[in-house]
Amino acid sequence: MVKKAIIPAAGYGTRSLPITKVIPKEMFPIGLKPAIQYVVEEASEAGIEQILIIVSRTKNVIVDYFDHSLELEAFLEKKNQAHLLAKEFIPKTQLYYTRQPYARGLGDAVHLGKAFIGNEPFAVLLPDDIVFGEGKPAIRQLIDTYMQYGHSAIGLNEVKEEDLHKYGVIKGEGLAENMYKITDMIEKPKTNPPSNLAVIGRYVFTPSLFSYLDRIKVKEGEEIQLTDAIKEMVATETCYGQVIEGRRFDIGTKEDYISLINMIHS
């Protein structure tokens, strides 16, 4: 069973500037909850017991949000408003934190979880992507695929051809409805995308992923990309791609963020 997850939350949020100079994208409000709470809840509902959140020194507000506020609790008790604490979210899932000292890419952020994961399969959830559906949580769908086949599984979304240049796009062999064996991955193809299947921010990996991350060689100042490790992985071992049931919103884009807000309030 997959019991551990990594949530990378240390990026600069450059797509959402200037607001991300002071408010982490992961804390953007969706209804009365921040985006990252939806992702933590999704992992918890899927059976994840331990989550490592990768933060930077400017993201301490994320750590504070998932903690008790003794001053607030004392104030509300004094004002006979302790009932308001029922709205506070303290997850049952065990949360751990570590800092990414430099913004060296998603691959580097995930690699920081190597000791935390050990020799276990694990999930990765990107808080940019919020997935809503009536069935199983998005990451649970991939966990079930891993449990059935024993190999890494990557979440996919069918995307319009004119938008494929924004995503990592897979090349794969169809195995069953919404299920593919990934044979290659192209990051943001400018022309001739290999399919209309884009990678979204949900993954379940075997611990072998770290061996591929270890091999990536980058020049000074370059980022370590998770896509590069996945490309190496699918060349030597089986990896599945699964179209996720549910509607995915990329809150790094204004259009998706506004659509999500409208859906929550409708």
Q: In terms of DSSP bridges, do strands 168-176 and 179-187 run parallel, antiparallel, or are they unpaired?
A: antiparallel
3 state SS of 122: strand
CA triplet 229, 230, 234: central angle to 5 degrees? 125
CATH of the domain at 9: 3.90.550.10
Model confidence band, residue 82 (pLDDT cutoffs 50, 70, 90)? confident
Q: Of the candidates 93, 81, 171, which has an alpha carbon nearest to the alpha carbon of residue 125?
A: 93
Model confidence band, residue 4 (pLDDT cutoffs 50, 70, 90)? very high
Q: What is the reported pLDDT for 80?
A: 83
The range of the structural domain enclosing residue 18 comes to 4-265
- What is the total count of domains within the chain? 1
The one-letter code for the residue type at 152 is S
Mean pLDDT, rounded, for 105-115:
96
Model confidence band, residue 166 (pLDDT cutoffs 50, 70, 90)? confident
Residue-wise pLDDT for 172-191, tens only, equals 888 888 999 999 998 888 88
- Give every CB contact of residue 80 below 8 A, 6+ residues apart in sequence: none
Residue 11 has pLDDT above 90, yes or no: no
Residue-wise pLDDT for 213-263, tens only, equals 999 988 777 889 999 999 999 999 999 999 999 999 999 889 999 999 999
Residue-wise pLDDT for 118-163, tens only, equals 999 999 999 999 999 888 999 999 999 999 999 999 999 998 888 8
Q: How far apart are CA 57 and CA 261, in angstroms?
A: 28
Q: What is the reported pLDDT for 86?
A: 67
Q: What is the reported pLDDT for 67?
A: 85
Mean of pLDDT over the chain = 91
Over its C-alpha atoms, the chain yields an Rg (Å, rounded) of: 19
Find where tokens 């494929």 sit: 164
Model confidence band, residue 43 (pLDDT cutoffs 50, 70, 90)? very high
Q: What is the reported pLDDT for 13?
A: 82
* Cβ–Cβ < 8 Å for 197, 155: no
What is the separation, in whole angstroms, between the first and last Cα of the chain?
37
* Cβ–Cβ < 8 Å for 26, 252: no
Q: Of the candidates 7, 4, 15, which has an alpha carbon nearest to the alpha carbon of residue 250?
A: 15
Q: How far apart are CA 94 and CA 200, in angstroms?
A: 25
Residue 75 has pLDDT above 90, yes or no: no
Q: Of the candidates 138, 155, 145, 169, which has an alpha carbon nearest to the alpha carbon of residue 231?
A: 169
Burial zone of 114 (CB within 10 Å; 0-12 exposed, 13-18 middle, 19+ buried): middle
Instruction: Give bridge partners of residue 184 from the DSSP assignment.
Output: 171
Q: What is the reported pLDDT for 88?
A: 64
